Amino acid sequence: MTRSAFVTRYVYGFDEPAAGGRELLGGKGVGLAEMTQLGVPVPAGFTITTDACRAYLREGEVPAGLDGEVDEHLARLEQQTGKRFGDLEDPLLVSVRSGAAVSMPGMMDSILNLGLSDTAADGLARTTGNPRFARDSYRRLMQMFGEVVDGVDGHRFEQALGDLKRERGVQQDVDLTADDLARLIETYKAIYLQETGGEFPQDARTQLRRAVLAVFESWKNPRAQVYRRTYAIPDDIGTAVNVVQMVFGNKGDRSATGVCFTRNPSTGEQGVYGEYLVNAQGEDVVAGIRTPQPVEEMRARLPEAYDQLLDTMARLEQHYRDMQDIEFTIEEGRLYLLQTRSAKRTAAAALKAAVDMTSEGLIGREEAIARIDPAALDQLLHPMLDPNAEFEVAARGLNASPGAASGAIVLDADTAEERGKAGESVILVGWETSPDDIHGMIQAKGVLTAHGGMTSHAAVVARGMGKPCVAGCDGLTIDAAAHTIRLGGHELREGDTITIDGGTGRVIVGEVALVPPQINEDFETVLGWADDVRRLRVRANADNPEDAAKAREFGAQGIGLCRTEHMFFGDRLPVVQEMILARDEEGRRAALDRLLPFQQSDFEAIFEAMAGLPVTIRLLDPPLHEFLPPIEEATDERMRRRIHALHEENPMLGTRGCRLGIQWPEIYEMQVRAIARAARAVRERTGEAPLVEIMHPLVAFKEELRRLRELTVEIMREEAPEIEYLCGTMIELPRAALRADEIAEYADFFSFGTNDLTQTTLGMSRDDAEGKFLTFYLEDGVLESNPFETLDQSGVGDLMRIGVERGRGAKPGLKLGICGEHGGEPRSVEFCHKLGLDYVSCSPYRVPLARLAAAQAVLKEAHRAEYVAAGG
């Protein structure tokens, strides 16, 4: 049949090259096609494109031409396999599997064993000489088809299966005989009839057509929607559908099915790492219903298939140059791969695999850097159980996802979501989890399951989220109706506190102290490589010696923002209040004189912690009334009047920042004096002068900075003429960015305060947007991301660009940085690199992330340049 070049083609065989990649064929489809074309053993089949799905979702009907194309490809499949779909003696059976461009594990539906009917099941039993297998396959089809296509409540089938096992006195599904299964089929048929009002469809083509549409429809199911929202996957890309020749892992003792990683997804260590079940079909492994065996066990049981598996995995790693996550089936000793994809892994595993693959020569250093998700580095910085804490381990399970957490036991996802959102720490506890539990997992601090292995749903999803998970915990039983669990020897109620350690699999009753994690060698190695590549320097925001030391340990190259207001609280607050409430300048100065030694010792400690590295100290910024008690607590009338006078309707836009220093210069004088004396003292003590940078906040007019610079220079000259220092300003108001040329005249450096710059550019209060209308904006799609988290590049970013151009235009070589929260957010770091800033400054725990993101920005720029040079 010839087709016009303008007619969209909707179906591709696995052996047919297709332009369009994963966007068109989905991740699974591309993998199957690539493996087929590589010569890896995969079942034959074809992919219905995401174009077809989108057309169906848009129009509500199958696009013209699709049915004909499916028929053609089915005919090819019949040729390739030598069997006929719908045959009643030796039928070709197929599975229908979803597969979007972006991996969404378990979120959409798949149906196996299509093509079986009453008669065909009998035929298959005769042809294979294995009635048990034929009936087991048929009852599975009825169950999956019933649930996915007709929305029959799956529990009814499970219940019938459970009843039969109890009646027959057996534990496992595999212990049911062919006769038992014949009875089960009759029960299933009755359930199907009751629930749908019709007979289970006996025609193979009808089954296939309805199954494909159901997979299209499953794109819209609630759990897939929640997943897409969580991982920012667009709603309109749709899924592809793969129609694949069935191969059988449930044909007896020489058949099996499993999932396997080419390296350990928790640690990154080399070696085959996975689980399999003998005489079972794929969903038995993933659903965590039977606890599977480690894949190494296959070496003794199915040695040939095992060797072939190892060989295939090595080939796949070589081809993709990355760690793979595969699904396989062994049909009577013969291996088939059903899926391969780049493996989801913990940050620790990502680092180890990247470092190892670099030494193995599989990838280069730059690729190793590019592969690590900067945000995932955060996982490594998660807490662990305090090694000195004393506790009794109540039960043990698999160490499914690292990190430790304590929280209240919650037995269902809805409650976990509700209580987690209310700010409570909860641990979601269950027999297993399913994709329907995703909303509860998002809000829980950790997950504990009784069933399932390292590749069960709970384990895979928790690892992706960077949350602790202990799976397959033998000592755990749950009584959901009574809201109780048994954990080892303990009876616990819902709401009681437990602690889980996903790094070791330990479960403890009660709360255990946690400690920050250790950074390992791979972490240092990759960040060392990143340091060689990046141009941006990375500093930290820190205002005490402990944070400064932490920042240094994480590789900070200085302090980019030391907020001095934090030093005005605690036991100093009464003196600060005295200063603010003073009748006149003289009274203020008297109080400030008493504050000075405190400030000086604060600065000395920070300078010493950061010896050899620059420290940017920002003078007092917040509105003064933040330091005052509520008016009701005024002890006399004068105090009441003063508090009243200092009250502001919009304190964020009121008497704060340099406006304080302009109106009451003695405050900034005291601070500069404390800096000067501290620098002097440290130099005398250590022989090394600190690298001091004094920064003035909230400048809008050049006259403000002119006066403040004069004040700074005068005090520094008076107190510490030998100390070199820089005097600069934050750029955190739109006017300052616009008039950066004038302001630069009085500044040695600029630091973009993008928290305030976002607030003032967008007219969105930092304190009143998040959790209120901004949350609505994000949920409703008005905005794609929270501008206080990810820089608004086109708005706020444009002002920054103007600030950079005009500032450096007036003063070439002007030193530029950023110290708003965006300085530790990967996309914003890339933007700062492109703007040509000298450094970013962020919270100490984000320093590693910023180092990596800064290196990735360089690599992306280089790739873009190569692409352009190549005429792209």
Question: Mind telling me the catalytic residues?
Answer: 457, 819
For 159: left if phi > 0, alpha if psi spans -120 to 50, otherwise beta; the answer is: alpha
Strand ranges for 596-648 from DSSP E: 614-618
In the complex, least distance from residue 753 CB atom to Mg ion, rounded to whole angstroms: 4
In the complex, least distance from residue 40 CB atom to ligand PEP, rounded to whole angstroms: 52
Residues in the chain: 872
The residues near 514 (Cβ < 8 Å, ≥ 6 apart) are 383, 384, 385, 386, 404, 405, 406
Q: What span, in angstroms and rounded, lies between the C-alpha atoms of 395 and 487?
A: 6
Partner touching 69 among ligand PEP, Mg ion, none, CB below 5 to 8 Å by kind? none
> What DSSP letter does each residue of 310-366 carry, written as one string?
HHHHHHHHHHHTS-EEEEEEEETTEEEEEEEEEPP--HHHHHHHHHHHHHTTSS-HH
146 vs 753, which CB is nearer to ligand PEP?
A: 753
Residue whose C-alpha is closest to residue 490's, from 504, 506, 476, 502: 476
766 vs 834, which CB is nearer to Mg ion?
A: 766
**What is the b/e burial string over 551-589, where b = at least 16 CB atoms within 10 angstroms of the residue's CB?**
bbebbbbbbbbbbbbebbeeebeebbbbbbbbeeeeebb
Q: Strands 11-13 and 45-48: what pairing?
A: antiparallel
In the complex, least distance from residue 436 CB atom to ligand PEP, rounded to whole angstroms: 41
Q: Are 381 and 516 in contact (CB under 8 A)?
A: yes
DSSP for residue 152: -
In the complex, least distance from residue 673 CB atom to Mg ion, rounded to whole angstroms: 23
109 vs 732, which CB is nearer to ligand PEP?
A: 732
Q: What span, in angstroms and rounded, lies between the C-alpha atoms of 157 and 140?
A: 10
In the complex, least distance from residue 543 CB atom to ligand PEP, rounded to whole angstroms: 10
Binding site for ligand PEP (CB under 6 A): 561, 563, 621, 732, 753-756, 819-820
Residue whose C-alpha is closest to residue 749's, from 731, 773, 768: 731
437 vs 732, which CB is nearer to Mg ion?
A: 732
Partner touching 819 among ligand PEP, Mg ion, none, CB below 5 to 8 Å by kind? ligand PEP
Tell me which amino acid residue 733 is.
L
In the complex, least distance from residue 816 CB atom to Mg ion, rounded to whole angstroms: 16
| Residue that is written with structure tokens 């069997």 in the block | 83
Q: What span, in angstroms and rounded, lies between the C-alpha atoms of 454 and 468?
A: 12
669 vs 732, which CB is nearer to ligand PEP?
A: 732
CB atoms within 10 A of CB 489: 10
In the complex, least distance from residue 659 CB atom to ligand PEP, rounded to whole angstroms: 14
76 vs 766, which CB is nearer to ligand PEP?
A: 766
In the complex, least distance from residue 690 CB atom to ligand PEP, rounded to whole angstroms: 21
Q: Are 727 and 668 in contact (CB under 8 A)?
A: no
Q: What span, in angstroms and rounded, lies between the C-alpha atoms of 241 and 244?
A: 10
> What DSSP letter does each residue of 273-297 carry, written as one string?
EEEEEET--HHHHHTTSSPPEEGGG
397 vs 820, which CB is nearer to ligand PEP?
A: 820
DSSP for residue 185: H
226 vs 726, which CB is nearer to ligand PEP?
A: 726
Look up residue 91 and give its two tokens: 């039928």
Q: Give the HSE-up count for residue 654: Cα atoms under 13 Å, Cβ half-sphere.
A: 14
417 vs 602, which CB is nearer to ligand PEP?
A: 602
Q: Are 697 and 664 in contact (CB under 8 A)?
A: no
70 vs 619, which CB is nearer to Mg ion?
A: 619
In the complex, least distance from residue 684 CB atom to Mg ion, rounded to whole angstroms: 34
In the complex, least distance from residue 217 CB atom to Mg ion, rounded to whole angstroms: 50
Partner touching 25 among Mg ion, ligand PEP, none, CB below 5 to 8 Å by kind? none
In the complex, least distance from residue 565 CB atom to Mg ion, rounded to whole angstroms: 11
CB atoms within 10 A of CB 654: 16
Q: What span, in angstroms and rounded, lies between the C-alpha atoms of 469 and 460?
A: 9
For every residue of 388-419, which 3-state class applies, written as one string? CCCCCEEEECEEEECCEEEEEEECCHHHHHHH
405 vs 736, which CB is nearer to ligand PEP?
A: 736
What is the maximum alpha-carbon separation in the chain? 105
173 vs 543, which CB is nearer to ligand PEP?
A: 543
Binding site for Mg ion (CB under 5 A): 732, 753, 756
Helix intervals (H) in 46-117: 50-59, 66-81
Q: What span, in angstroms and rounded, lies between the C-alpha atoms of 563 and 751?
A: 13
Q: What span, in angstroms and rounded, lies between the C-alpha atoms of 290 and 287?
A: 8
Q: From the CA atom positions of the chain, what is the Rg in Å?
A: 32
Q: Strands 484-487 and 749-752: what pairing?
A: unpaired
The residues near 307 (Cβ < 8 Å, ≥ 6 apart) are none
In the complex, least distance from residue 757 CB atom to Mg ion, rounded to whole angstroms: 8
Q: Are 283 and 259 in contact (CB under 8 A)?
A: no
